[in-house]
Structure 1
Amino acid sequence: MSAPILEVDLHNPQPRHVSRAVEVLSRGGLVAYPTDTYYGLGCDLTAKKTIERLYQLKGRDKKKPLSILCPDLSDVAKYAHVSNFAYRTMKGLTPGAFTFILEATRIVPDMMMSKQKQVGIRVPDAPLARALAAGLGRPLVTTSASDEEGEPLIDARDIKERLGHGLELILDGGVTLMEPSTVVSLIGDSIEILRQGKGQLDA
């Protein structure tokens, strides 16, 4: 059975739709939702079997860790070691279209870290995505919704057609013509852009 679609307001998400999605996430479900970059596929950070399902659905190598999505900058320090330098840098760029690479804390599951014990963290400029993580009370494991060739799926109906069999719910925020997030390493208190995307770093 394919996942149902709920139409949501990106900027003022309907509380009942957020509640329904949070309920799905809290019982180990996979949800597709729009962000400030591509559509994301997400699940609860503590649901290890669901994280494995997410890797299978994406056909992704487990050596490539997924990112986590926090509702607010204040939540990040629980999951990553945030120096004063990192905090100041992120404060100026969140919420926004960035994924920050930081050293992970022990609370992050091993399967979510790189070999170097690093983790990618997002605080997106997307009220709906942040509301899901806030409602759940834990970060979301997140990755872009894409087809077998890795091409982003920009429409909820395409997501339903290609990935609906592996999802419990799809939140439809309309067609998103977006770019990926900019990936910024803050390891060692220096800024290194690993992938230039939508987020712009001012010199």
Structure 2
Amino acid sequence: MAKYFDVHPDNPQTRAISQVVGILRDDGLIAYPTDSCYALGCRIGNAKGLDRIREIRRLGSGHHFTLVCRDFAQLGQFVQINNAVFRLVKASTPGSYTFILPATREVPRRLLHPKKKTVGVRIPENVVTQAILAELGEPLLSSTLLLPGQEEPLTQGWEIKEELDHVVDAVIDSGECGTVPTTVVDLSDGEPEILRVGAGDPSRFE
């Protein structure tokens, strides 16, 4: 049964955040709010957590997973960025964008796109997510909480608790979350390619 945390959206309770991070460090899987919609998250090194996300969402091997990072310095440890890409990403973070970039050796092979050796990265503008990332000290391996056969992600913490009670270890509820996932921009070849139009304004990459 998943633990349920009712967390203040603007002033997250320190104790609740510490308990959530404790679950993550014990290789737990959480459902948590972001600045675009709810997501599933676990530690980067949690291989079983990755398998659980794949199973819940029924994802194939070509799916791009996302590393949700606290800040630009952390993001730079996991992806390769030239000067032109640096300026584009820096100007758009934090925000509702996911960027596909070539991964560094810090990223476990199982998280990479099998052919392109790329990974998704983002820096969210969400107080609760940022509090979790600050306490954890590393990125979250993450995927949008979009269940098979559904057109939109779940938006309510209690609804997620009911739906996923026996397949996740914790649900963080900080009020209603949006239904629109991030805008995904592939920058792996240097030139922006918009793969998905979502919550982030795509015009700066067109």
Distance between the aligned counterparts of 2:94 and 2:202, measured in 1? 13
Aligned to 1:52: 51
Offset, 1:202: 4.4
* CA RMSD, Structure 1 to Structure 2 (Å): 1.4
Conserved 8 A contact 1:62-1:111: no
- Name the residue aligned to 2:128: 128
**Corresponding pairs, count:** 202
Tell me the secondary structure at the aligned position of residue 52 of structure 1: helix
Question: Where does residue 179 of structure 2 map in the other structure?
Answer: 178
| 2:41 matched residue in structure 1 | 42
- Identify the residue that residue 169 of structure 2 maps to in structure 1: 168
**Unaligned regions of 5+ residues in structure 1, if any?**
none
- Distance in 1 (CA, whole Å) between partners of 2:142 and 2:5 is 19
Question: What is the distance in 1 between the residues matched to 2:64 and 2:88?
Answer: 23
The one-letter code matched in structure 1 to 2:131 is A
- After TM superposition, what 4+ stretches of structure 1 lie above 6 angstroms from structure 2? none
Q: Secondary structure at the match of 2:166?
A: helix
Aligned to 1:140: 140
Aligned-pair identity (%) = 36
Q: Secondary structure at the match of 1:184?
A: strand
What do residues 115-168 of structure 1 show as CA deviations (whole Å, max 9, x unaligned)?
200110010111211221221111101112233314311111121121121111
User: What is the one-letter code of the residue matched to 1:148?
Assistant: P
1:156 and 2:157 equivalent? yes
Does structure 2 conserve the Cα–Cα contact (< 8 Å) formed by 1:30 and 1:41? yes
* Paired residues of 1:65 and 1:111 also in contact (CA < 8 A): no
Amino acid at match of 1:117: K
Whether the 8 Å contact between 2:68 and 2:141 is mirrored in structure 1 is yes
**Correspondence for 1:3:** 2
Q: TM-score, normalised by structure 1?
A: 0.94
- SS state at 1:188 partner: coil
Q: Which residue of 1 aligns with 2:117?
A: 117
Contact 2:35 2:124 in 1 (8 A): yes
Q: What is the match of residue 196 of structure 1?
A: 197
Distance in 2 between the 1:5 and 1:167 partners? 11
Give the aligned partner of residue 94 of structure 2: 95
Between 1:2-11 and 1:76-85, the stretch displaced more is 2-11
1:68 aligns with 2:67: yes
Q: 1:12, CA displacement in angstroms?
A: 2.2
Q: Within 1, Cα distance between the matches of 2:10 and 2:39?
A: 16
Q: Supply the AA of the counterpart residue of 1:133.
A: L
TM-score by length of 2: 0.92
Distance in 1 between residues matched to 2:203 and 2:58, nearest whole Å: 35
Gaps of 5+ in 2: none
How far off its partner does 1:169 sit?
Answer: 0.8
In the alignment, the residues of structure 1 paired with residue 67 and residue 148 of structure 2 have an alpha-carbon distance, to the nearest angstrom, of 22
